[in-house]
Amino acid sequence: MFDNKTIEQLGYYVYALINPETNIPFYIGKGIGNRVFNHKYDAENLEDVASLKLDIIRAILDKGLAVKHIIIRHGLKESEAFDVEASLIDFGNYIGFNLSNIVEGHHVGYKGLMTTDEIIRLHNAEPLNELLHPIIIININKKYKRGEAFDFIYQATKQGWVISEQRRNTVRYALSEYTGIIIEVFEILEWYEIPITETKSRWGFNGKVASDEVRDIYINKSIAHTKKKGAANPIKYRLD
C-alpha cells in the first residue's frame, strides 16, 4: 500500500495489473490513492462477485503468486488519466492482450485506435439522409474493433440477430454501422437460422459486398444524427 506522502505526490495515475507467469498485463486502470491495490482486496473478500479480472487475480493467488502492479504514468490530471487509460486499453487489445476491462475507455468511439482510412472516414463523413433500398442497418460496436481487417466487418455483421420473417423477406442490403459511420455495405443472398433454444432462434445471412452503384450511396456516410441516446437495439430499418 502507498503511504500518505507517496499518495500526495501521485495525483491521478494509470496502472497495469500484470500476470507474473507471463509478464503480460491483464487489466489497465486509472485511479488515485491506493486504487491499484483494491482489486486484490476485492478478489479475496468479495467471493460472490465474479468477473474476468477478479477470476484472473484469484487464479494467480491460488498458485501462491502475487499480481505485479505497474504504475505507467502518475502526476496526471483526471482528464489526462482518462486519455492515457483509454489509449492503453485500445492498443493492448489490438495487439492481442485480451484485457479484462469491461469498459473500453474514455472517448474510445471518437478518439480511439483507428486505421488511417478510418481517420479520414470519420472526419469527412457526410450525413446519410435517405435510404434508397430495402435496408437493414446493423450496429457492430460490440463485435468489431477498429483496425481489424475486412473479414471481421463481415463476420460482425452477418449474425446473429432477431429478425422477423417479414423483414427477412424484404431487406436486400445490410449496412454495417460502427460508431455512427457506415463502414461497409453487403448484399444479402440468403438467410440461415441459428437455434438458441428449442423455441427461439436468431438469424444470420450469407452475402457479398454490394455493387459499387449501391455501395457508393451509403459507404462512409454518417447516421450519428439519427441515433437516439440510450437506444439498445443494434438493428434499424429506418433513419428516423
Averaged pLDDT for residues 48-55 = 86
Averaged pLDDT for residues 48-77 = 93
pTM tops 0.85, yes or no: no
Which cell goes with 213? Answer: 452503384
Shared domain check, 181 and 78 = no
Averaged pLDDT for residues 58-67 = 96
Which cell goes with 27? Answer: 487489466
Shared domain check, 76 and 34 = yes
Q: Which domain holds residue 177?
A: 116-236
Q: What is the pLDDT of residue 146?
A: 64
State how many domains the chain has: 2
Shared domain check, 231 and 120 = yes
Domain end position, chosen among 111, 140, 175: 111
Domain end position, chosen among 111, 129, 154: 111
CATH code, 45: 3.40.1440.10
When pLDDT is cut at 50, 70 and 90, the band that residue 103 belongs to is low
When pLDDT is cut at 50, 70 and 90, the band that residue 230 belongs to is low
Q: What is the pLDDT of residue 106?
A: 46
